[in-house]
Structure 1
Amino acid sequence: MSSRLACDVLVVGGGSGGCVVAGRLATESEARVILVEAGPDYGTRSSGLWPADLLDGGALVTSHEWGYASGQLAGREPIAFQRARVMGGCSA
């Protein structure tokens, strides 16, 4: 059996911006809002579910990245574009 979700607004991307847009729309309008994120949602920080590397504010976290890069560049290595695949995005 499949179920369907209905909404007025679909926000794709649970990074900082997506979360703010979805939250504002949900609280300040009558719109039914769905927020979609490809990465996991570990809940609140106190849930105990967050991986240690995401909790270390001084670490460059690579465990949740998308693997985006610039591709081949003349005379240099490709440039990595660090983007986080997790609820909260790079701000997580």
Structure 2
Amino acid sequence: MPQRSITSKDIASLPPPGFNLAESIRFSPDDNLITYLRSPNQTLSRQLYGYNIQTDKEFIYAEPDGNNEQAEDNLSMEEKTST
């Protein structure tokens, strides 16, 4: 596959809709743990995941209480119409 330069169109369109990517990635002070937000089922509800670099294991660090209806009530009108 020939190499090409990345264009502004590439930046604006990647990742494609529907991709479930990690957000708000942070390292722990000792650099042994990475934490990030991700939605396991591609909804508005995200969970805080941890990844232990030494053990090569991912785990759920924190998750919402499960009341998705209440989470929807906390959205602004703009957020409700953008999904």
Both structures adopt the same fold (TM-score exceeding 0.5): no
Q: Looking at both structures, which has the greater relative contact order when contacts are Cα pairs under 8 Å and sequence separation is at least 6? A: 1
Shorter-chain TM-score: what band?
Answer: under 0.3
- Pick the structure with more strand per residue: 2
Q: TM-score of the superposition, structure 2-length normalised?
A: 0.22
Q: TM-score of the superposition, structure 1-length normalised?
A: 0.20
- Pick the structure with more helix per residue: 1
